[in-house]
Chain A
């Protein structure tokens, strides 16, 4: 009749992860919205897919405080905003009991400033119970928009999210979603997922979302990212970061913290790989005969 501490399904761990991060956030007055996974309304995920991690969107001004509190409560940084993804939107942490959690400081595809976008989503959010704790989630139409935006950079199972959240949505729900997409200034990424991308040819982030949704070489993605930058400073930052080694990625590939020697080798390996990729691309396009 003893309780044991083994054999816990991932879905259960993740539900506790949602509750745990909410408890920490409440304890320090941090605003966050639970997105994806167990936080998704059942009408949008009839299969109940719980995901592989916990995702929360944090009020940008509160990110630093949450980071400090999480580290104090046993979460370890797994990958950083700077290197975790090409969009720089999320930071991943690992907890021995709850698994992975992604802290989002903005959501890719939304061009409205992160502060204003969070406020817009927060405005009509509501609370649900996860593992007995009140967790705030965006409105159901907003969840649907986020699922579609998420699908724009995923070519696998997220397509079923588009099917349910958009293809099968009622006309009224579609109107609500389009209004929110306009409010969030996210038309291009949204269109990349729902098949309307060609309408946005000429937008600065058209190529970025074309490649994100359909694939492309890393160098093409990089150029698209430069073109999509909202201003010269942002574009310059992307250019200047190009030769830098992604230490997070290298560390995970090696399975240990990289040495300076590892970083140096990687520094020279990446340009060589990029040149090789460019050469293959040129040959493939028929420019070299």
Chain B
């Protein structure tokens, strides 16, 4: 379940892995899976970075933090990042 809270008068959303989602990392690749049935989803490169940032701060700033880490302009990737995060939420991997 995503947490919503007011911060400076602005509502923020924090995402976290679903309750039945297992996560493990191997050589910089993030693997996530619904338990107990799977399947395993492999997150490499930018996908792994987005997962990490999605679990580590406000949903509204994920693209900014990924852009900062990658040294690119946030607005150039915001659409793709938001779409990817939305897909993770739809699949129940993030809640």
A interface residues, Cβ below 8 angstroms from B: 1-9, 11-13, 15-16, 19-21, 23-24, 73-74, 95-98, 130-133
B24 lies within 8 A of A12 (CB): yes
Least CB separation from A23: chain B residue: B35
Interface segment among B3-11, B36-44, B68-76: the answer is: B36-44
- Chain B residues 1-51 with CB under 8 Å of chain A are 17, 20-24, 26, 31-33, 35-44, 46-47, 50
In angstroms, Cα B84 to Cα A74, docked, is 29
Least CB separation from B41: chain A residue: A3
A16 lies within 8 A of B42 (CB): no
In angstroms, Cα B50 to Cα A19, docked, is 24
Question: What's the nearest-Cβ distance from chain A to residue B48, in Å?
Answer: 9
Interface residue from A7, A9, A23 paired with B36 (Cβ < 8 Å): A23
Least CB separation from A14: chain B residue: B24
Question: What's the nearest-Cβ distance from chain A to residue B88, in Å?
Answer: 8
B80 at the interface (CB under 8 A from A): yes
A8 lies within 8 A of B37 (CB): no
Question: What's the nearest-Cβ distance from chain B to residue A274, in Å?
Answer: 42
A16 lies within 8 A of B38 (CB): yes
A8 lies within 8 A of B36 (CB): no
B47 lies within 8 A of A97 (CB): no
In angstroms, Cα B35 to Cα A21, docked, is 9
In angstroms, Cα B43 to Cα A163, docked, is 38
Question: What's the nearest-Cβ distance from chain B to residue A23, in Å?
Answer: 5
Interface residue from B20, B31, B36, B47 paired with A1 (Cβ < 8 Å): B47
A19 lies within 8 A of B41 (CB): no
B47 lies within 8 A of A2 (CB): yes
B interface residues, Cβ below 8 angstroms from A: 17, 20-24, 26, 31-33, 35-44, 46-47, 50, 80-81, 83-84, 87-88
A98 lies within 8 A of B38 (CB): yes
In angstroms, Cα B42 to Cα A9, docked, is 11
Least CB separation from A131: chain B residue: B22
Nearest 8 A-B pairs (CB), nearest first? A97-B38, A131-B22, A3-B41, A20-B36, A19-B22, A131-B24, A23-B35, A20-B35
B40 lies within 8 A of A132 (CB): no
In angstroms, Cα B45 to Cα A2, docked, is 10
Interface residue from A2, A8, A21, A130 paired with B40 (Cβ < 8 Å): A8
Interface residue from B26, B36, B42, B43 paired with A74 (Cβ < 8 Å): B36
Contacts A6-B42, A13-B40, A20-B22 known; 5 new A-B pairs at CB < 8 A: A1-B83, A16-B24, A20-B35, A97-B40, A131-B22
B23 lies within 8 A of A132 (CB): yes
Least CB separation from B42: chain A residue: A4
8 A-B pairs in the complex with CB atoms less than 8 angstroms apart: A2-B84, A4-B41, A19-B22, A20-B22, A20-B37, A95-B38, A132-B22, A132-B23
Interface residue from A73, A98, A132 paired with B24 (Cβ < 8 Å): A132
B-chain residues with CB within 8 Å of residue A8 when the two chains form the complex: 31, 40, 42
In angstroms, Cα B19 to Cα A23, docked, is 10
B40 lies within 8 A of A73 (CB): no
Interface residue from B37, B39, B81 paired with A5 (Cβ < 8 Å): B39
B-chain residues with CB within 8 Å of residue A7 when the two chains form the complex: 42
